[in-house]
Structure 1
Amino acid sequence: MAAAAFLLPAVSPAAPAHPRLLFSHSPYRSRPRVHHVRLAASRPAASRSDGEGDGGGGGGVAGGGVFLSPRALSQLDEIAAFRYAHSFPHGRLTVRALTQADDDESDALVRLLASSFAENVRWAPAQRYEQLLAFVIRRYLFERRGLAPHAAVLVGYYRPAATGDGEEEDEDEREGNEDGDYGEMACTAEVSLDAVGAPGAPPTPTPPLDFPYICNMTVKTSLRRRGIGKQLLKACEDLIIKMDAKRRVYLHCRIIDQVPFNMYRKAGYNIVQTDSILVWLSLQKRKHLMSKELLQTSASSESTTKDFDDNNLTS
């Protein structure tokens, strides 16, 4: 199941500025007034987009940088500190923002996405196609890192429960998580929070660009059907609420993906629009655009459930 087809905007380099996030600078165009605390790297002035009120715009700075507003800096820290933890009877899931501290983490994410998207291709040798996808995905993630705090990529780590006493294992898992041992990378999703972070060429039917949008959502094949997808979706919604974005969130679901569609419906998402049959002419699968109005209170970041029924995630 995937929230949307893979998105490939035009790629241009962007240097990281926040020490804990893969995504770093806010691509604001020059404005007369300046709110600043920290100087962040940016694209050349000619390629920057206009600062918006929500993000706290910055003024043009000689040398290719922009000043981030206090609010934007606070949002960067909020994303960096974000955690969503969920305990299943079979293990524990921890979701957080993608960091730049470990190249192995980025490599694992690229492999996870490439494997997921390659599952739907039948006309190309799987290994070669995954290699091509890995290259494109790496470039895509490199480009998207320039959109924080307007967008973020979440990664989920899963640690299976031991075969001993459940309560003891829960305590051991929490100690392991405090030490940074979250287990294996199990899932990922991308969240666009506003128009600045919106994808450049979203799939059809086109969602409103100034509302939060969830896409590129997938779970590792061997860990599906365990409720991880459901909790990953809740983590995305939790981040949207914590970042004080608009409460109406959008995502896409292919018509043929019945399992994820059922999961979205159970989570409160309703169909807004469905692709015309004419999209087949462009060799694409028809999709539903779905939407949900989030509650004013954020979801619990620590919970336990035995409801894990909907987790077949492929692109």
Structure 2
Amino acid sequence: MAAPALLSLSPAVSRRPHLLFSHTHSPRHLRLAPPAASSSPSPSPGGGGGVFLSPSALSKLDALAAFRYAHSFPHGSLTVRALTPEDDAEADALVRLLADSFSEDVRWAPAQRYAQLLAFVIRRYLHERRGLTPHAAVLVGFYKPAAAEAGQEGEDGEDEGEMACTAEVSLDAVGAPGAPPTPTPPLDFPYICNMTVKTSFRRRGIGKQLLKACEDLVVKMDAKTRVYLHCRIIDQVPFNMYKKAGYTIVQTDSIFVWLSLQKRKHLMRKELPQVSVDSECTPVEFDDNILTG
């Protein structure tokens, strides 16, 4: 079987996300700027098919680079930001995190060998998705235990800690996944997917804060404030978390989705509060006593 041209990672609405492959010959949305940015886009000097970023897109690119979401727990601290394109070591850590997470559900093949295959495909997927910045963003979260923070007081080091979680946010139709899972969300609205937390950091409230960070990014990037995500029916704990955060069910997969060997999912959405440009986003508070991955 030929390798797929686009890997669509289904939303990590549980601790262990799964993969969906699209057999299209090319990504549906692989542009560097919205179609409306120019009526006659100029080709790149090298003859590529991309177009120049509009002033608005350049402004959002700067906003994404400056984005930070921080939260302090009694046991440590979490910092969430966008993936750095120039840092290969950081990208390698993210590939390992996603590959390990996806391979946890595999029972028909050695997990280590399957993780190696996934690492190759995920690396390719991330390369394509980063080409859609700032219309889509890959967020990474770094956790630092409280003991480590105390030991570094007064030092000038900029160690963020260990990569603990990740999520992807599509902000508009240009950044929308090429093959979104069913029920299909509106492509021109923000969509949260591929959320996962490293095994050793689960059940510490990190998943809730990662969701807050995604919502904070949507507001700060001046995207539409209606946000969509998927949640598998079998994942009751994440479902309760989403409901508590204000998400409601829009549609549920038909029972016939089992014929394609997929788990049935809810499509959920939330209306984020309208926030003025000069004010800061105030995310919905969660009860951190109810822990989940």
TM-score strictly above 0.5: yes
What residue in structure 2 maps to residue 311 of structure 1? 292
Deviations 1:64-84 (A, max 9, x none): 353221111010010011000
Assess if the C-alpha contact under 8 Å between 2:143 and 2:162 holds in 1: yes
Q: 1:235 to 1:76 in 2, by over 3 A?
A: same
Q: Secondary structure at the match of 1:240?
A: helix
Compare relative contact order (CA 8 Å, sep 6+) and give the higher one, 1 or 2.
1
What residue in structure 1 maps to residue 6 of structure 2? none
What residue in structure 1 maps to residue 150 of structure 2? 169
- Pick aligned residue for 1:71 from 56, 67, 86: 56
Letter in 2 for 1:193: L
The whole-number CA distance in structure 1 between the counterparts of 2:282 and 2:87 is 28
Shift of 1:311: 2.1
Deviations 1:203-225 (A, max 9, x none): 00100000000000000011111
Asked if 1:87 is matched to 2:72, the reply is yes
Shift of 1:188: 0.1
Matches within 5 A, 1:124-135: 124-135=109-120
Q: Secondary structure at the match of 2:237?
A: helix
What residue in structure 2 maps to residue 59 of structure 1? 41
Q: Secondary structure at the match of 1:86?
A: strand
Q: Secondary structure at the match of 2:147?
A: coil
Q: Secondary structure at the match of 1:99?
A: coil
Assess if the C-alpha contact under 8 Å between 1:57 and 1:68 holds in 2: no
Q: 1:5 to 1:198 in 2, by over 3 A?
A: farther
Asked if 1:194 is matched to 2:179, the reply is no
Identity of aligned residues (%): 72
Assess if the C-alpha contact under 8 Å between 2:137 and 2:169 holds in 1: yes
What residue in structure 2 maps to residue 121 of structure 1? 106
Letter in 2 for 1:2: A
What residue in structure 1 maps to residue 123 of structure 2? 138
Q: 1:62 to 1:287 in 2, by over 3 A?
A: closer
Q: Secondary structure at the match of 1:67?
A: coil
What residue in structure 1 maps to residue 281 of structure 2? 299
Q: Secondary structure at the match of 1:52?
A: helix
Letter in 2 for 1:307: D
The whole-number CA distance in structure 2 between the counterparts of 1:84 and 1:58 is 38
Shift of 1:300: 4.6
TM-score by length of 2: 0.84
Matches within 5 A, 1:36-55: 51-52=35-36
Deviations 1:90-131 (A, max 9, x none): 000000000023211111100100111111222221111111
- Pick aligned residue for 1:271 from 249, 254, 267: 249
The whole-number CA distance in structure 2 between the counterparts of 1:240 and 1:234 is 10
- Output the aligned Cα RMSD: 2.8
Q: 1:300 to 1:85 in 2, by over 3 A?
A: farther
Ranges in structure 1 where 5+ consecutive residues have no aligned partner: 14-24, 29-49
The whole-number CA distance in structure 2 between the counterparts of 1:62 and 1:287 is 41
What number of residue pairs does the alignment pair up? 270
Deviations 1:170-215 (A, max 9, x none): 983xx67x74311000000000000000000000010000000000
Ranges in structure 2 where 5+ consecutive residues have no aligned partner: 1-10
- Pick aligned residue for 1:239 from 204, 214, 217: 217
Matches within 5 A, 1:149-228: 149-162=134-147, 169=150, 172=153, 179-228=157-206
The whole-number CA distance in structure 2 between the counterparts of 1:11 and 1:162 is 50
What residue in structure 1 maps to residue 32 of structure 2? 27
Deviations 1:274-295 (A, max 9, x none): 1111111111111111100001
What residue in structure 2 maps to residue 45 of structure 1? none
Q: 1:130 to 1:89 in 2, by over 3 A?
A: same
Q: Secondary structure at the match of 1:234?
A: helix
Shift of 1:264: 0.7
Q: Secondary structure at the match of 2:52?
A: strand
